[in-house]
C-alpha cells in the first residue's frame, strides 16, 4: 500500500481527478488499494462511490472495509461487536433495546466547531459588523478546511474497520429523496443510521439510476497524544470539527461519535447541505415536524411546525388531542423537505426514518405515544439504567417502583437526593418511526403530504399571544425571521434568556441567512403557499403560572388553525397579526382557568421592546445588503402598528 505522505497532498484535489475515471481504472474486486473488503462487495458500487471510498482509505488507513447491506444479520453482528467492546449494554426488560454510554466529554452537538465552507464568506454567513460576533453560522475557507482535514484524518482509522453506509434521506426512489454515503469508523453510527435512515443495498442499487450522492466522511478520531480516554467510546474532543462544503455536497466530521455530529444524515445533510440543495433546486429543507390533523368531520390536513429546542416539538408531533373527534397522526418530529408539485401544491416528506428524541421529560403524562414507541428496537444513549434491566430519566419518577436501584448515565449508583440528574439532559432514544402507534399512513408516500399551514413558535413567558396568524406570506416569513425562545444560558449563573432562533434554524443554516430569507420570500411565486401561524404555549400570568395547559389541549389551537385554513371568519386583526375572535377558540369543557383577554393581549411596552431587540439582532448579525427589503418593510410596518396601540 502506498505511504500516506505520498498521497495526502492530493487528498482534496483527488475528488476532481477521480470523478472522470471509469470503473476499470480501479481494477477492483474485493480490494480497495490493498485493503480487504470484509463485508459486502465492491461489485455493487458505482465508480463514484468506489472513488470516494478509495480516497477515504488512502487518507484514514483503516484495517478493513465493511460495506453495509442494512440486513438484520449485519445489524445483529454489529450490536454483538458493540456489546463486546462495552459500547452498548443490553436492556433485557425490553425487546432488542440497548444503552450506550458516551465519553462524558462527547454528549452534544458542538456549534462552535461546526463550519460551512465556501470560497466567499458572504455565501455562507451574513456579513455582520466587524466588532460583533455573528451567531448565524461559522465560515471556513477551502484552504482552511483542507488543512483541518490534513491535521486530523491521516491514519485516524488505523486498527479500525471503515464502514460504508449507503443511505437514503426519504423513501428510496421518491423524487423528493436524496442519497448519502457515510464513511465512518463507528459501529454505533452504523446501527443508529440504520434506525434513522433507509440504509443498505437498495440504496446502492438506486444509485445506478441517479449517481448523485452526498459524500459524508466521519471518524470518531484518534487523539494526537495517542491516548484514548475511554476505549468503549473513542473520540477526540479537543480537535472535534464538523465541516460542510455545499459546492461539493461534502460533509466531513471528526472527533465526536455523538448524535448530530456523527449521524450525518440528520442535521449535516438534511438541514445544512439540504438547505443549500433546496435553494439551488427551488424547495425548502426545514427544521420542522410534520403532522396530520383530522377534524370531527373526518377532513384531514397536514401542517409543519418549527420550534427551537425545549419547546416540545416531539410532543406536538405525537399529541393526544383532548378535543373530541380530533385525530393526530405523525409524519415526522424534526425535519421536513417541502417542494411544490406540478399542480403548485406544497408537499412534504420526512427525510428521516426514526426519532432521535430527548429522553428527559418524556413520560406517560407528557408524551404517552413516544412511551409506546421507544421500548422496542431502540438504542438509548446516556440515559440512566435500572436494576430490572430498564431505563430511567428525569420525568419518569412516577413510572418506576420504589425498590428499583438506578445507575446514572455515567455508570455510577444514583441516589435521588444527590442533586445530580440520573440521565444526561441531552440523553436520547433512537427509535424506528415505524414503532410509533400514530405514524401516519402516508408517512412514506413518495409524493409527500400536502401542507396547508406552517407554524412557527417559541417558549415566550411574556407578551406573545397563544396563537396569531400572519397577514400574508411575506408577513409570515418575517414572523419566522423574528423567532425567539427562552433557553438556558450557556453560562450557568445567567439563568434563562430569550434567544433569537430564526426559523429554529440558527445552528443549521447551510448558507447566508439573508439569502435564505430571499429564498423563502420567492416561494410565493412558485406555487400555492400555505398560511403561516405563530404559537406560544408558554405564556405566564402575573402569578408566574402558565396561562395555558398545553399538551393535548393544544388541539384547541390546532382546531382554530384548521378552521382558518378552511376560511372561517373566526379572527380579528391585531397589531401583530390575526388573533381569534373572543369566542373563536373552542374552550368547551376545558378544565383550566384561562383568561382569554390576557392570553391574547398585546402589551404595547413589551412589543416596543421586542421590536428594538429584533432591530438590534438584524443590525448586529447582517449588513443592510443581506437583509431583504421586504423584511425591513415588515419591521417598519409592525413598528407603526404597535406605536398606534
Within 10 angstroms of residue 538's Cβ, the number of other Cβ atoms is: 22
What is the rounded CA–CA span in Å between residue 519 and residue 252?
A: 26
Q: Which of residues 524-583 bind ligand O2Y (CB under 6 A)?
A: none
Q: What is the SS3 string spanning 562-583? A: HHHHCCCCCEEECCCCEEECCC
For ligand O2Y, the binding residue among 40, 62, 255, 259 (CB under 6 A) is 259
CB of 313 to Mn ion, least distance (A): 7
- Chosen residue from 334, 444, 553, 610 binding Mn ion by CB under 5 A: 334
Q: How far is the CB of 259 from ligand O2Y (least distance, A)?
A: 3
3 state DSSP class of 556: helix
Look at strands 139-140 and 114-117 and give their pairing: parallel
Query: 10 Å Cβ neighbour count for 49?
Result: 22
Strand residue runs (E) in 51-110:
64-67, 88-90, 98-100
Copy the grid coordinates of residue 375. Answer: 421500548
Strand pairing class (406-407; 413-414): antiparallel
* Spatial distance between the Cα atoms of 31 and 43, rounded to a whole number of angstroms: 11
When binding is defined by CB under 6 A, the residue of 109, 152, 484, 564 that contacts ligand O2Y is: 109
Q: How far is 554 from 326, CA to CA, in rounded Å?
A: 11
Identify what 258 binds: ligand O2Y, Mn ion, none; CB under 5 to 8 Å per kind: ligand O2Y
Instruction: Give me the least distance between CB of 506 and Mn ion, in Å please.
Output: 11
Phi then psi for residue 88, to 5 deg, are -130, 155
- Binding string, residues 322-341; x marks residues near ligand O2Y by CB under 6 A: ------------x-------
Q: Which stretch binds Mn ion (CB under 5 A): 272-280, 317-325, 329-337, 428-436?
A: 329-337
Residue nearest to Mn ion (CB): 334
Minimum distance of ligand O2Y from residue 258's CB (angstroms): 5
Query: Closer to ligand O2Y at the Cβ: 107 or 439?
Result: 107
Binding of Mn ion at residue 486 (CB under 5 A)? no
Give which of ligand O2Y, Mn ion, none residue 260 binds (C-beta under 5 to 8 Å, depending on kind): ligand O2Y
- DSSP assignment of 465-523: -SEEE-SSHHHHHHHHHT-EEEEE-SSGGG-EEEEE-GGG-TTT-SS-HHHHHHHHHHG
For residue 192, the tally of other CB atoms under 10 A from its CB is 24
Nearest Cα to Cα of residue 358 among 423, 295, 275: 423
Choices 31-39, 91-99, 333-341, 598-606 (CB under 5 A): range interacting with Mn ion: 333-341
Query: Is the torsion defined by CA of 478, 480, 484, 489 positive or negative?
Result: negative
Question: Does 333 interact with Mn ion (rule: CB under 5 A)?
Answer: no
Residue nearest to ligand O2Y (CB): 259
- Indicate left, alpha or beta for 287 from its phi (over 0: left) and psi (-120 to 50: alpha): beta
Shortest reach from residue 412's CB to ligand O2Y, in Å: 22
Give catalytic status of residue 311 as yes or no. Answer: yes
**In terms of CB distance, is 311 or 529 closer to ligand O2Y?**
311
> What backbone phi and psi angles, to 5 degrees, belong to 2?
-65, 150
Q: Does 258 bind ligand O2Y (CB under 6 A)?
A: yes
DSSP assignment of 244-278 equals EEGGGTEEEEES--SHHHH-TIIIIIIIIIHHHHH
Q: Which does 108 bind (CB under 5 to 8 A by kind): Mn ion, ligand O2Y, none?
A: ligand O2Y
Q: What is the DSSP letter of 530?
A: P
Q: How far is the CB of 492 from ligand O2Y (least distance, A)?
A: 19
| Interface mask toward ligand O2Y for 260-289; x: CB under 6 A | xx----------------------------
CB-nearer residue toward ligand O2Y: 260 or 390: 260
Grid cell of 173 as nine digits: 426512489
Compute the 3-state secondary structure of the chain and give helix, strand, coil in percent, each to the nearest 5: 30, 25, 45
Q: In whole angstroms, what is the distance from residue 152 CA to residue 222 CA? A: 8
The residue from 60, 117, 156, 311 that is catalytic is 311
3-state secondary structure of 116: strand
* Residues from 4 through 43 that contact Mn ion (CB under 5 A): none
- Nearer of residues 111 and 524 to ligand O2Y, judged by Cβ: 111
Q: How far is the CB of 335 from Mn ion (least distance, A)?
A: 7
356 binds ligand O2Y (CB under 6 A): yes
For ligand O2Y, which is the closer residue by CB, 40 or 234?
234
Q: Considering the complex, state which of residue 109 and residue 515 has its C-beta at the smaller distance from ligand O2Y.
A: 109
Q: Residue holding cell 423584511? A: 631
Strands 64-67 and 178-184: unpaired
Site size for ligand O2Y, by CB under 6 A? 10
Q: Which residues contact 443 (CB under 8 A, 6 or more apart)?
A: 330, 331, 332, 350, 433, 449
Which span (113-121, 254-262, 361-369, 395-403) binds ligand O2Y, by CB under 6 A? Answer: 254-262
Q: Is 352 in the site for Mn ion (CB under 5 A)?
A: no
Q: Is residue 106 involved in binding Mn ion (CB under 5 A)?
A: no
Q: Does 426 bind ligand O2Y (CB under 6 A)?
A: yes
* Residues facing 358 on adjacent strands: 428
What mask, x for binding ligand O2Y by CB under 6 A, covers residues 298 to 317?
A: -----------x--------
Least distance to Mn ion, CB of residue 260, Å: 8
426 binds, options Mn ion, ligand O2Y, none, Cβ within 5 to 8 A by partner type: ligand O2Y
Beta carbon of residue 261, minimum distance to ligand O2Y (angstroms, whole number): 6
CB of 242 to ligand O2Y, least distance (A): 10
> Contacting ligand O2Y (CB under 6 A), which of 108, 228, 400, 570?
108
* Residues forming the site for ligand O2Y (CB under 6 A): 108-109, 258-261, 309, 334, 356, 426
**Which residues are catalytically annotated?**
311
* Residues forming the site for Mn ion (CB under 5 A): 334
Amino acid at each position: 500500500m502506498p505511504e500516506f505522505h505520498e498521497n495526502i497532498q492530493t487528498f482534496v484535489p483527488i475528488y476532481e481527478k477521480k470523478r472522470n475515471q471509469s470503473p476499470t481504472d480501479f481494477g477492483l474486486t474485493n480490494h480497495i488499494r490493498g485493503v480487504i473488503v470484509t463485508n459486502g462487495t465492491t461489485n455493487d458500487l458505482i465508480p463514484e462511490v468506489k472513488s470516494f471510498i478509495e480516497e477515504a482509505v488512502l487518507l484514514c488507513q483503516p484495517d478493513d472495509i465493511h460495506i453495509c447491506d442494512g440486513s438484520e444479520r449485519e445489524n445483529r453482528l454489529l450490536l454483538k461487536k458493540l456489546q463486546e467492546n462495552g459500547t452498548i449494554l443490553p436492556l433485557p426488560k425490553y425487546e432488542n433495546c440497548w444503552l450506550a454510554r458516551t465519553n462524558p466529554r462527547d454528549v452534544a452537538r458542538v456549534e462552535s466547531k461546526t463550519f460551512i465552507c465556501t470560497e466567499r464568506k458572504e455565501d455562507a454567513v451574513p456579513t455582520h459588523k466587524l466588532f460583533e460576533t455573528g451567531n448565524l453560522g461559522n465560515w471556513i475557507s477551502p484552504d482552511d478546511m483542507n488543512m483541518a482535514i490534513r491535521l486530523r484524518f491521516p491514519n485516524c482509522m488505523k486498527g479500525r474497520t471503515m464502514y460504508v453506509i449507503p443511505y437514503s434521506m426519504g423513501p428510496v426512489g421518491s423524487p423528493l429523496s436524496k442519497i448519502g454515503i457515510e464513511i465512518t469508523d463507528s459501529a454505533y453510527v452504523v446501527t443508529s443510521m440504520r434506525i434513522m435512515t433507509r440504509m443498505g443495498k437498495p440504496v446502492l442499487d438506486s444509485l445506478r439510476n441517479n449517481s448523485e450522492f452526498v459524500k459524508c466522511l466521519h471518524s470518531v478520531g484518534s487523539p494526537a497524544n495517542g491516548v484514548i480516554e475511554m476505549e468503549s467510546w473513542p473520540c477526540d474532543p479537543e480537535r472535534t470539527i464538523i465541516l460542510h462544503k455545499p459546492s461539493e455536497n461534502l460533509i466531513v466530521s471528526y472527533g465526536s461519535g455523538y448524535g448530530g455530529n456523527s449521524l450525518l444524515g440528520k442535521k449535516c445533510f438534511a438541514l445544512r447541505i439540504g438547505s443549500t440543495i433546496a435553494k439551488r433546486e427551488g424547495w425548502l429543507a426545514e427544521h420542522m415536524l410534520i403532522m396530520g390533523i383530522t377534524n370531527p368531520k373526518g377532513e384531514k390536513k397536514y401542517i409543519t411546525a418549527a420550534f427551537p429546542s425545549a419547546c416540545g416539538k416531539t410532543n406536538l408531533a405525537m399529541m393526544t388531542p383532548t378535543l373530541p373527534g380530533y385525530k393526530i397522526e405523525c409524519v415526522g418530529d424534526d425535519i421536513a423537505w417541502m417542494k411544490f408539485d406540478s399542480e403548485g401544491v406544497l408537499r412534504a416528506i420526512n427525510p428521516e426514518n426514526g426519532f432521535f428524541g430527548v429522553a428527559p421529560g418524556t413520560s406517560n403524562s407528557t408524551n404517552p405515544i413516544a412511551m409506546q414507541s421507544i421500548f422496542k428496537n431502540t438504542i438509548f444513549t446516556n440515559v440512566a439504567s435500572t436494576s430490572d434491566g430498564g431505563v430511567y430519566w428525569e420525568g419518569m419518577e412516577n413510572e418506576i417502583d420504589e425498590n428499583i436501584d438506578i445507575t446514572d448515565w455515567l455508570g455510577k449508583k444514583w441516589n435521588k437526593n444527590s442533586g445530580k440528574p440520573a440521565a444526561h439532559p441531552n440523553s436520547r432514544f433512537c427509535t424506528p418511526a415505524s414503532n410509533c402507534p400514530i405514524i401516519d399512513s402516508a408517512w412514506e408516500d413518495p409524493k409527500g403530504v400536502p401542507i396547508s399551514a406552517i407554524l412557527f413558535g417559541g417558549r415566550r413567558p411574556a407578551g406573545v399571544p397563544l396563537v396569531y396568524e400572519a397577514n400574508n406570506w411575506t408577513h409570515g416569513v418575517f414572523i419566522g425571521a423574528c423567532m425567539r425562545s427562552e433557553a438556558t444560558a450557556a453560562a450557568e449563573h445567567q439563568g434563562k434568556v430569550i434567544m433569537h432562533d430564526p426559523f429554529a434554524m440558527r445552528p443549521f443554516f447551510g448558507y447566508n441567512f439573508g439569502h435564505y430569507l430571499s429564498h423563502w420570500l420567492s416561494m410565493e411565486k412558485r406555487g400555492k403557499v400555505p398560511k403561516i401561524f405563530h404559537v406560544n404555549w408558554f405564556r405566564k400570568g402575573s402569578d408566574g403560572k402558565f396561562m395555558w395547559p398545553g399538551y393535548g389541549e393544544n388541539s384547541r389551537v390546532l382546531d382554530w388553525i384548521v378552521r382558518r385554513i378552511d376560511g372561517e371568519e373566526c379572527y380579528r386583526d391585531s397589531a401583530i397579526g390575526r388573533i381569534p375572535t373572543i369566542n373563536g377558540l373552542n374552550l368547551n369543557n376545558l378544565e383550566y382557568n384561562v383568561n382569554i383577554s390576557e392570553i391574547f393581549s398585546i402589551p404595547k411596552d413589551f412589543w416596543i421592546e421586542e421590536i428594538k431587540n429584533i432591530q438590534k439582532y438584524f443590525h448586529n448579525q447582517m449588513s443592510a445588503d443581506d437583509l431583504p427589503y421586504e423584511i425591513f418593510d415588515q419591521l417598519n410596518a409592525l413598528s407603526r402598528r404597535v406605536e398606534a396601540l
